[in-house]
């Protein structure tokens, strides 16, 4: 009886080990066969969210010309423009093909991360002429992305500009030298003007990235960032003259 019990016990152990081995084999099969699909499947919503941001910026900036669509889309991180066709939203409509980098993750049965990678996913945006639409996860066409110069940024410039201008007073040469000492990106447009003993300074990165300063006396320096609404086409110009006029440091209507 003891010998029989022993063999039954050994058989049970063998069965458990066999099931464990089969489970391990299935897990290994999952590991090797599923990651590519999972990575693409999880990268798609990440890339789609970035396209949502592109479209939101189109609407915020009232973009309607092909060149403006191209420039706006190309400013977003992880977004490349493969093609643009058409001229304007209201006449021909504008079609863009975007290649967007999405981050995907492949997980095992126990939710442990097996692999993760950034993958390109393509989208078609149809802007007008009658309505807007988009197609997600289309086949990416061959070809290189269109060149889109990145707008310079004024992020972090405010405090540095304030510190540089505070000691110099309303002297145009001294103000210019102080701004030059900041060694800003050469692509940032600089403008200076003098009126009634006050020096105006304007720094512009992109259409909606503007810092205006008024230097009235040593230590009397006022910085202002006009709002997005105020910098819209047809509204305020990011110029040194703005620092010297009555609209300086005002709120949008």
pLDDT digit string, tens, across residues 64-95: 999 999 999 999 999 999 999 999 999 999 99
Residue ranges of domains in the chain = 33-138, 157-244
CB atoms within 10 A of CB 119: 17
Predicted TM-score (pTM) of the model is: 0.77
Is residue 112 very low, low, confident or very high in pLDDT (cuts 50, 70, 90)? Answer: confident
Mean per-residue pLDDT over the chain, rounded: 88
Q: DSSP per residue over the chain, as a string?
A: -HHHHHHHHHHHHHHHHHHHHHHHHHHHHHHHHSHHHHHHHHHHHHHHHHHHHHHHHHHHTT--BHHHHHHHHHTSTTEEEEEEE-SBTTTT-EEEEEEEEEEEEEE-TT--EEEEEEEEEEEEEEE-SS--EEEEEEPPPSSPPPP-PPPP--TTHHHHHHHHHTTT-S-HHHHHHHHHTT---TTSEEEEEEETTEEEEEEESSTT-EEEEEEEETTEEEEE---TTTTSTTS---SHHHHHSTTTTPPP-
Residue 117 structure tokens: 């990678």
Mean pLDDT over 102-108 rounds to 87
Q: Which residue has the higher pLDDT, 155 or 14?
A: 155
The least confident of 29-33, 155-159, 171-175, 182-186 is 29-33
Distance CA 234, CA 55 (A): 22
Q: Find, among 116, 132, 118, the residue nearest to 50 by Cα.
A: 118
Q: Is the pLDDT of residue 139 over 90?
A: yes
| 6-54 pLDDT per residue, tens | 544 444 454 444 444 444 445 445 444 566 778 999 999 999 999 999 9
């Amino acid at each position: 009886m003891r010998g029989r019990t022993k063999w039954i016990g050994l058989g049970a152990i063998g069965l458990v080990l066999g099931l464990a081995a089969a489970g391990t084999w299935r897990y290994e099969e999952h590991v090797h066969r599923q990651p590519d699909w999972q990575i693409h499947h999880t990268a798609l919503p990440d890339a789609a969210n970035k396209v949502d941001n592109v479209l939101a910026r189109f609407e915020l900036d009232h973009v309607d010309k092909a060149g403006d669509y191209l420039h706006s889309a190309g400013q977003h991180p992880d977004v490349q423009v493969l093609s643009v066709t058409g001229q304007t939203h209201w006449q021909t409509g504008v079609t863009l093909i975007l290649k967007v980098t999405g981050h995907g993750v492949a997980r095992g049965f126990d939710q442990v991360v097996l692999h993760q990678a950034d993958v390109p996913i393509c989208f078609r945006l149809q802007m007008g002429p009658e309505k807007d639409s988009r197609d997600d996860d289309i086949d990416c066409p061959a070809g290189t992305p269109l060149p889109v110069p990145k707008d310079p940024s004024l992020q972090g410039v405010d405090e540095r500009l304030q510190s540089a201008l505070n000691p110099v007073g309303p002297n145009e040469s001294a103000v210019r030298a102080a701004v030059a000492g900041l060694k800003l990106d050469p692509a940032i447009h600089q403008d200076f003007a003098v009126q009634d003993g006050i020096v105006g300074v304007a720094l512009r990165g992109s259409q909606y990235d503007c810092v205006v300063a008024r230097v009235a006396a040593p230590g009397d320096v006022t910085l202002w960032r006009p709002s997005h609404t105020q910098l819209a086409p047809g509204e305020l110009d990011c110029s040194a003259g703005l620092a010297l006029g009555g609209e300086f440091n005002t709120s949008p209507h």
